[in-house]
Amino acid sequence: MRTLHWFRNDLRLQDNPALLAACQQGAVLPVFILDTDEPARSALGGASRAWLHRSLTALNASLNNNLVMLKGSAQTLIPDLCARYQIEAVTWNRGYEPWTIQRDSGLKTALKARGLAVTSFNGALLFEPWDTVKKDGFPYRVYTPFYKHCMANLSPRIPGVLNATRIRVVPHAEQAGLESLALRPPVTWDDAMLTDWTPGEQGAQRRLQHFLATGMGDYREGRDFPAKRSVSGLSAHLHFGEISPHQVLASARAESPSDDNQAHFIKELVWREFSYNLLYHFPTLQEKNLQAKFDHFPWEANEALLKAWQTGQTGYPIVDAGMRELWQTGSMHNRVRMIVASFLVKNLRLHWHHGERWFWDCLVDADLASNSASWQWAAGCGCDAAPYFRIFNPTTQGQRFDPDGEYTRRYVPELLGLPNQYLYEPWACPVEISRAAGIVMGKDYPAPIVEVKASREAALLAFSEMKRRAAG
One-character DSSP codes across 33-68: EEETTS-GGGS--HHHHHHHHHHHHHHHHHTTT--E
| Angle between helices 368-379 and 260-281 in degrees, nearest 10 | 100
Residue 61 has pLDDT above 80, yes or no: yes
Is position 334 annotated as part of the catalytic site? yes
Domain 2-124 indexed as CATH 3.40.50.620:
yes
How large is the average pLDDT for residues 8-21? 96
Q: Which of 66, 99, 128, 271 is catalytic?
A: 271
At position 416, the amino acid (one-letter code) is L
Q: What is the pLDDT of residues 26-51, one digit of tens each?
A: 999 999 999 999 998 889 999 999 99
Selected catalytic residue, list 201, 375, 377, 393 = 375
Rounded to whole angstroms, how far apart are CA atoms 7 and 92?
Answer: 7
pLDDT at position 157 is: 76
3-state secondary structure of 457: helix
Annotated catalytic residue, options 38, 88, 174, 334: 334
Taking each helix axis as running N to C, give the angle between helix 201-214 and helix 46-62, from 0 to 180 degrees, rounded to the nearest 10: 100
Report the 10 Å Cβ neighbour count for 423: 23
Radius of gyration of the chain (CA): 24
Single out the catalytic residue among 197, 352, 360, 377.
352
Q: What is the pLDDT of residues 318-331, one digit of tens each?
A: 999 999 999 999 99
pLDDT of residue 114: 96
In the structure, what pLDDT confidence band is assigned to residue 175 with cuts at 50, 70 and 90? confident
Asked about 352 being catalytic, the answer comes back as: yes
Q: How confident is the model at residue 160 (pLDDT cuts 50, 70, 90)?
A: confident
Bridge partners of residue 7, in order along the sequence: 32
Q: Any idea where the domains of the chain sit in the sequence?
A: 2-124, 125-158+202-281, 292-467
User: Of 174, 299, 414, 427, which is the active-site residue?
Assistant: 299
Cβ atoms 428, 422 nearer than 8 A? yes
Question: For the domain 292-467, what is the CATH code?
Answer: 1.10.579.10
Is-contact 368 189, C-beta < 8 A?
no
pLDDT tens for each residue of 271-320: 999 999 999 999 999 999 999 999 999 999 999 999 999 999 999 999 99
In 10 A of CB 171, how many CB atoms? 9
User: What pLDDT, on the 0 to 100 scale, is given for residue 187?
Assistant: 64
Question: What is the percentage of the chain residues whose pLDDT exceeds 90?
Answer: 90
User: Residue 274: how many CA atoms within 13 Å on its side-chain side?
Assistant: 25
CA atoms within 13 A on the CB side of 472: 0
> What is the DSSP track for 85-139?
TT--EEEEE---SHHHHHHHHHHHHHHHHTT-EEEEE--S-SS-GGGSB-TTSPB
Between CA 137 and CA 135 the distance in angstroms is: 5
Residue 165 has pLDDT above 80, yes or no: no
DSSP-derived pairing of the beta strands 68-72 and 117-121: unpaired
DSSP states of 217-280: GGHHHHTT-TTT--S---HHHHHTTSS-HHHHHHHHHHHS-SSHHHHHHHHHHHHHHHHHHHHH
Q: What CATH class does 125-158+202-281 carry? A: mainly alpha
Query: How far apart (Å, rounded) are the C-alpha atoms in residues 27 and 276?
Result: 33
Q: Is 299 one of the catalytic residues?
A: yes
Q: In the predicted model, what is the mean pLDDT of residues 450-467?
A: 95
Per-residue pLDDT tens over the stretch 178-223: 999 999 877 677 788 888 899 999 999 999 999 999 999 999 999 9
Residue 119 CA neighbour count, 13 Å, CB half: 13
